Chain A
Amino acid sequence: MGVLTNTDALRSGIADRSVHVVDARTADEYRAGHIPTALNLSVSSIVAEQNAGTAARLAGSLGISNNGPLVVIYDGYFGTAAALVAWRLEHAGYQNVSLLECSYANWLEQGLEYDYDVPDIMHVGYSVKTNPSMVATIRDVELANSSTILVDSRRRLDFLAMHIPGAVSIPYRALSSPSSVLRGKDELLHLFANRGIGVESNVITYDNDSGTLSALAYYALKHVGVDGVRLYLASFADWRRQKMPVETQQNATYGDLAA
Chain B
Amino acid sequence: MSNSLAVYSLPSVGNQRSKNLTGGLQWDQYRITQQSRSHQDIFIGYKGYFRVMCPHPLQQSTFRWADVRDVDDFADKVKRYRAGTYPPDAFVKYRIHNGGYVTRLTSDYSMLRVKVPAGRISPEQLRRFSLLSEQYSIGSAHITARENVQLHWVVLEDVPDILRSLAEVDLTSRESCGDTVHNVVCSPTAGVCPDEVFDPTPYAEATSRFFLRNTMTQNIPRKFKITYDCCENHGRARTADVGLVPQIRTVNGQARRGFKFFAGGGLGAKSCIARQIEDFTDEDNVIYTLIAVLKVYDRLGDRKSRHKNRLRYLVEQMGWEKFRNLILKERTAVRITQAARVNLDLEDMPAAVRRPVRISAEEVVEPGYSKWVQTSTFVQKQPEYRTVFVTLEAGDISSRQLSDLADIIEEYSGESTARLGLIQNVVLRYVHQDDLVSLYSRLLKANLARTGALTMAATLGCVGMSSCNLALTNSHRMAKEIQRQFLKRGLDEDKDLWGSSIKVSGCPNSCGQHVVATVGLYGGSGRNGRDMYPAYTMLIGGRTGADSTLGHKLANVPAKRVIPVILHLLDIFRERKQDGDNLESWIRRVCDGAEQTSVADLQDMVTPLISPPSRDDDPDFYTDYGTDIPYKIVIGRGCTK
Contact = CB atoms under 8 A, between A and B. Distances in A.
Nearest to A157: B138
A190 B161 contact: yes
Nearest to B103: A252
B634 A251 contact: yes
Interface string A218-259: 000000000000000000000000000000011111111111
Contact of B104 (A157, A177, A252): A252
A156 B137 contact: yes
Contacts of B477: 253, 256
Contacts of A211: none
A259 B135 contact: no
Interface string B139-167: 11010000000001101011001000000
B455 to A, nearest CB: 21
A258 B138 contact: yes
Contacts of A259: 140, 392-393, 396-398, 401
A160 interface: yes
A253 B465 contact: yes
B480 interface: yes
A253 B627 contact: yes
Contact of B626 (A160, A190, A249, A253): A253
Nearest to A169: B155
A252 B137 contact: no
Contact of A256 (B104, B105, B401, B466): B466
B467 interface: yes
The prevalent SS among residues of B at the interface is mixed
B158 A252 contact: no
A186 to B, nearest CB: 10
A160 B467 CA distance: 12
B134 interface: yes
Contacts of B625: 253, 256
A253 B138 contact: no
Interface residues of A, number: 26
Given A255-B626, A257-B463, A194 B480 contact: no
Nearest to B158: A194
Contacts of B627: 253
Contacts of A156: 137-139, 153
B396 A257 contact: yes
Contact of A254 (B138, B398, B634): B138
Contacts of B131: 177-178
A195 interface: yes
A257 B466 contact: yes
B140 A252 contact: no
Given A155-B138, A173-B134, A174-B136, A257 B467 contact: yes
Nearest to B400: A259
Given A194-B157, A195-B157, A250-B105, A173 B135 contact: yes
Contacts, number: 92
Nearest to A175: B135
B634 to A, nearest CB: 5
B40 interface: no
A84 to B, nearest CB: 20
Given A157-B139, A252-B104, A257 B397 contact: no
Contacts of A53: none
A127 B60 CA distance: 70
B614 interface: no
A257 B626 contact: no
Interface string A75-117: 0000000000000000000000000000000000000000000
A255 B628 CA distance: 13
A171 B142 CA distance: 19
Interface in B189-246: none
Given A171-B135, A249-B106, A256 B480 contact: yes
Contacts of A124: none
Nearest to B131: A178
Contacts of B480: 256
A254 B463 CA distance: 9
A256 B474 contact: yes
B172 to A, nearest CB: 20
B641 to A, nearest CB: 21
Contacts of B467: 252, 254, 257
A255 B626 CA distance: 8
Contacts of A29: none
A191 interface: yes
Given A187-B161, A190-B161, A195-B157, A254 B134 contact: no
A80 to B, nearest CB: 13
A177 B158 CA distance: 16
A194 B435 CA distance: 47
Given A173-B134, A178-B131, A253-B474, A258 B139 contact: yes
Contacts of A195: 155, 157
B466 A254 contact: yes
A65 B131 CA distance: 38
A253 B634 contact: no
A171 B133 CA distance: 11
B553 interface: no
Interface string A147-177: 0000000011100100000000101011001
Contact of B158 (A157, A160, A191, A249): A191
Contacts of B136: 171, 174
11 contacts: A156-B137, A156-B153, A177-B131, A195-B155, A195-B157, A252-B465, A256-B465, A257-B476, A258-B140, A259-B392, A259-B397
Given A254-B466, A257-B152, A258-B139, 7 more contacts: A157-B139, A171-B134, A194-B155, A195-B157, A256-B625, A257-B138, A257-B466
Q: Lowest 9 CB-CB distances: which A-B pairs, in order?
A: A194-B157, A259-B398, A259-B396, A259-B140, A253-B626, A256-B477, A174-B135, A173-B134, A257-B466
